[in-house]
Every structure is written in structure tokens, then in C-alpha cells.
Chain A
Amino acid sequence: MSEPVRSTVHVLTGQRLTDGVIVYRTAEGAWSESFWDGERVDAPTVRDARVAHEQAAQRLIITGIYALEVGLTAQGAPVLSMRERLRAEGASAARVRLGYPP
């Protein structure tokens, strides 16, 4: 079992409209394919405002934007649900795990 979660933050995520690739919003306002690049937001008001803003601003580029919950252990390590772990792993890794080329 994973370590106990001591606190939670959120990372904005969505899927690229043209190909469905999962992306995460960085602190600089760009969108990265790496979960580790995602900005961690802890204030609910900031999170909600940012989701609303990005859903409008990115409507032609990214779809299904939401704030995913990230648990943090006492050491600050992220704890994700299985679904979010698989998303964070990315499509190439998923294909390899299933026996296909990346």
C-alpha cells in the first residue's frame, strides 16, 4: 500500500483536441505531456478560477479540462488514483505495457 496522504493539491489536466493526448498545465501557463511538469495548485478558489479560464481559453486546443486531485505524503511524494497513474504514465508507455511498439 502507498504511504498515507497528508494533504492534497490539484493539477490541471485535459486532452489535446486533435489527438486526445493527455496534457498538464505548467506554472508558466503552457501545457506539457508530463505530469511532473504540472503546476500544483492548492487554493480551491485559484483552482476553480483557473479551470474555468482554461476551459474557455483552450477550447480549440484542449478538451475536457479538469483539476485532478493529487495526494501528498509527508515527504511530499504524489499519490494518484490508479486511473490517474495510468494517465500520467502516458500513451507510449501504455502501448509498450500491452506488448506494442511505443
Chain B
Amino acid sequence: MYRYDEADQQIVEERARQFRGQVERRLDGRLSEEEFRPLRLQNGLYLQLHAYMLRVAIPYGLLSATQLRQLAHIARTYDRGYGHFTTRQNLQFNWPTLTDTPAILDALASVQMHAIQTSGNCVRNVTSDPFAGVAADEIVDPRPYCEFLRQWSTFHPEFAHLPRKFKIAVTGATVDRAAIAVHDIGLRIRKDEAGRIGFEYFAGGGQGRTPVLAEKLRDFLEEADLLAYTEAVLRIYNELGRRDNKYKARIKVLIKEMGSAEFRRRVEAEFETTRHDPALRLDPEALARMKAHFVPPDYATLPDGQTALQAGRLGKDRAYARWLASNLAPHRVPGYAIVQLSLKSETLPPGDVTADQMDAIADLAERHGFGRILVTHRQNLVLPDVRIDALRQVHAALEGLGFATPNVDRVTDIIACPGLDYCDLANARSIPVAQSIQQTLADADRVHDLGPLTLNISGCINACGHHHVGNIGILGIDKQGEEFYQLTLGGSARDDASVGKVLGRALTAEEIPGAVERILATYAVLRSGADEAFLAVVRRVGLGPFKEAVYADHS
């Protein structure tokens, strides 16, 4: 993984030192709250419903064991003993004090981490495929390009005050696991017929109150032009994006209002300038230097292990068999597997991990891999390099930690934003709704039999819980001070990306588990066979049968 050089280290240490001074000036009155607020937000510190919240950047979701242990230390020392992994592959501490925050930033800097640009109208943490570097279906490792983008966008003077926040996602695999269609910029790395690397370049996707799928700007942007082209996109957005209305300030609105053809024309014209800037060109030496940070670790030469895997899947240990079927992904190196840790236990809110669990996961990553952990945008964790002959051991350890629930990409693998339990912007709680759905779907065999099915919950229209792109989406709304929930069906964040459609009138929290149950029962009746996924059925039959099932006796 990328290691900071001296300049990088100096920047994050200096930033922590600056923030310490800013906090001191706020506390002694030299800074007003209005003056201090943008400064704390630039360092990822929000004031939420009950307390401050610090959002820590995890670039493209990649953590070392050392970094995870430091996050555990911070959780234990300065917070309430846990952290929350988010849909942007970041980690949030929900209970720090203002006075402890400078010490937390120092602790982060000591392991090459920070909270810079995790808030504010700037380029946020670049996200990527959580299987980057190890996926069997990977065409090109996206991490070097993510790191180039991270370095280019960090403290970029021209783009420090964009019209609105800006999110970039990159995938280098045949399957999109990074939700590139719903990002301000989405990149799919490809190779052309000559084997040259380039980018299928999308822009203008997003969720929030106006969900939009990204428009394609380029079929194939040459590798060397990544930063120059992205600079052109950002420059056009920065100059022409609306600043009069925050709800219309994202790039998706600019592209919709201007038209994608005109936006593309302007970007291409700007690119004619930026492409000649040597500072923006990724020359072969720069690419080689960056790629050297991401060379594969020293894998053992092993038999492919497929016989053992097959035996496990057919074995009598049903829990292990289900786990193998749903929580494993194919690794590019024979004899290894990608193991996904489901952070959707029945005891903790989705995405939450305690300090002790973080330490234990760090130990596992070192014992069964090369000390790396990845965060997924579905709020799970990944051990990317587990030997197939060690899977039983790892499964047992994860069972002990509560992270072996065999439900990855199944209906109980619920994305849930923090909602009104934490968030000052939320209209309704998300976590209790997720937990009540999980409790009603406790039958692991049934969850397994229902097949791939995403269920995403947001506590408000800002859509941090990605409800628009859940196969089943749940949106919390406020009706005269009370919580209600709107159901959507048919969303997808994958290659077949789509925005879900509203099913009908909003329901109470108590009605939601029953409604989800009726939707699933309807699907079970309508599916043509075990291979027809929920999304395919919704697309085939439309909302009608599901609407009937949910509302027939309740309207």
C-alpha cells in the first residue's frame, strides 16, 4: 500500500498542529462559532445530534493492521469504544470531545491517517473496489490511480471551495463493486485491443434528493491523461456549477441543465489546455513509481484449493457451507480467497465495530494475510488474502467475533446510515429499522435461498444509506414531527445501475418489517426459479404485485 513520504507526513502533522491552535482559539473566544465551523469541517469534525463526530478518511477503503489497531486505540481512549464504517469506506467516531480532537488527529497522523477533506465542498475520499488488487475478475488494479487522484485533489487550491461536495469512485474489474454510476465522477479502468490502459469516464451521477445515473463522457481516456481530464471536468464544474441553491449545486444538476453534449464539449475544450500541463501528465516513470507501492505481496505457491472449497460447500456443517457460499469471493492467486466480514450482526448497528473487535481483526489480517484490511461501501470489512487451507480457522475466529453471519449481498446485509440516532440532518432513525428487519429474517436458510438482494436504508433524502440504489430501498421521512418510511423497489448500484421507484404511501417503523416480509413472500412466489434474482423479478413484473402485497390490507 502507499506509504507516506516525508512531505506527506509533514503535511498531516502540520494540519493536526494547526487544528490544535484553532480549537484553542475557539475555546478562548478568538474565533467565533461561525469562524470556527468551516475550520472544524475541513478536518472532518461535525457537531451531530448528541455529540461531535469525527470522520476519518480511509483512502479507497484500504487499511493496514497497524492503522486498524490505532483506530481501536482512539476508540478506546477518546471515544466510546467503537467506530462506524460508512458507505464511503470511511470510519466515523461518534462521541469525541472537541478538546480531545487535536490529540486524535495526532494519533491518526502517527499512522499516516487523517480526516482532511472528509467534509466540506471539496473532493472527498476517493472510493474503489473493496477487492482491489486481489479480485479474480480484475482487469487493472485501481489503487495506483486512486492514489494519484487522492494526491492531486488533496489541498488542490483551485478546488477547495467547489459549489458542493465531490465524490469519485474507481473500479478496475469486470463487475462494478464501487457504484461508479452514482458518483460525481465514476471511472472504469479498461484495456484496449492493444493492451493499453485507459478509463471509461462517467460524470454527473449521484443520489440525494435528485438521484441521477452518471453520463458517459469518454469511452476510453488514455491512462496518462487521467489527472488532466479530471482537472478539466472539475474546472468546468467549479466555474459553472450553481452556488445559489445547495440543492442544485452538484455536478449532476449542471450536466442535466446544460445537457451532457454541451458539458462534454466544454470539458474537451478545457482538456486541450490541461493536457499540455506536464504536472498533470502521468508519464511512464510516475506510473511506475506509483505502481511500485501496490506490487502484490509474497504469495505462496499453493494448489488451487477448489476441491476443499467444494467439499466445504457440500459438507454437513451448514453454517460453514453457507458462509463459504456467500461471504467468499474468488482471489486472483490460486489457493487464496477473499473473505468478507459481515458487520451486520444482530447485536450491533450495521457498520459498527468495537475497539476489541478492531484489534482482533488486525490480528487476523496479520495471521491470515499480509496485514491488510479493506472497507466495503456496503459497510463490511474484507480480509483480502486468506489461504483456502486456513478458511475453517478464519471462519471459527469470525464466528467468535460475530462477523461470520453468512449474509453478504443478501437481504439482511443491510446498509443503514446513522440516521436520527446520531445525525443532525436525519428525519428518522435507520438503525432500529435495520435491526427489526434483521430480527424478522433470522432464518439463515431462508435468507440464503432468497439469493442476492440489497436492502438499503437512509434516514433522510441526503441518501447516505444509498436507498435509491437498493433493490429494496427505505427512506425515512418526517411527517409533522413523526418518523415514517417510504419504500422503493428496483434500485441497483452495480453495472445494471438503476434508481428505485416509490412503491406507495409511507409506512410507520412498526409496519416496515411486515411490508418487507410481504415483498419477499411475493418475490418467492413470482420468481421463475432459484436463479432469478429479486431485481430481475421486479424488472420483469413491475411494482404492481408488490404494491398489492404491501398495501392491499392496509390502505
Contact present for B50 and A18 (CB under 8 Å) = no
Contact present for A83 and B420 (CB under 8 Å) = yes
Complex interface: chain A residues within 8 A of B52 (CB): 19-20
Contact present for B97 and A98 (CB under 8 Å) = no
Contact present for B51 and A20 (CB under 8 Å) = yes
Contact present for B420 and A86 (CB under 8 Å) = yes
Query: Measured between alpha carbons, how far is A60 from B80 in the docked complex, in Å?
Result: 25
Contact present for A100 and B82 (CB under 8 Å) = yes
Complex interface: chain A residues within 8 A of B99 (CB): 18-19
Closest to B345 in A: A99
| Interface check A81, CB cutoff 8 A | yes
Complex interface: chain A residues within 8 A of B349 (CB): 98-99
| Interface check B239, CB cutoff 8 A | no
Contact present for B98 and A18 (CB under 8 Å) = yes
Contact present for A22 and B33 (CB under 8 Å) = no
Number of interface residues, chain B, beta carbon within 8 A: 33
Least Cβ distance of A45 to chain B in Å?
25
Within 8 A of B (CB), among A1-35: 15, 17-22
Interface of B is mostly: loop
Complex interface: chain B residues within 8 A of A99 (CB): 347-349
| Interface check A82, CB cutoff 8 A | yes
Closest to A87 in B: B49
Contact present for B478 and A82 (CB under 8 Å) = yes
Least Cβ distance of B354 to chain A in Å?
9
One of B47, B51, B80 near A100 (C-beta < 8 A): B80
Stretch of A36-44, A46-54, A89-97 on the interface side? A89-97
One of A20, A63, A82, A84 near B50 (C-beta < 8 A): A20
Contact present for A20 and B482 (CB under 8 Å) = no
Contact present for B49 and A86 (CB under 8 Å) = yes
Given that A17-B27, A18-B97, A98-B431 are contacting pairs, would A82 and B482 also be in contact in the complex, using a CB cutoff of 8 Å? yes
Given that A18-B97, A80-B481 are contacting pairs, would A94 and B27 also be in contact in the complex, using a CB cutoff of 8 Å? no
Closest to B346 in A: A99
Query: Measured between alpha carbons, how far is A98 from B97 in the docked complex, in Å?
Result: 20
Complex interface: chain B residues within 8 A of A20 (CB): 47-48, 50-52, 97-98
Contact present for B80 and A95 (CB under 8 Å) = yes
Query: Measured between alpha carbons, how far is A79 from B132 in the docked complex, in Å?
Result: 51
Least Cβ distance of B416 to chain A in Å?
11
Within 8 A of A (CB), among B79-125: 80-82, 95, 97-99
Could you list some 21 contacts between A and B, CB below 8 A? A18-B98, A18-B99, A19-B52, A20-B48, A21-B50, A21-B51, A59-B32, A63-B47, A64-B33, A81-B478, A81-B482, A82-B420, A83-B49, A86-B420, A90-B50, A91-B51, A94-B50, A98-B349, A98-B421, A99-B349, A100-B80
Q: Which 3 A-B pairs have the closest CB atoms?
A: A81-B481, A91-B50, A20-B51
What is A's interface to B at a CB cutoff of 8 Å? 15, 17-22, 59-60, 63-64, 80-84, 86-87, 90-91, 94-95, 97-101
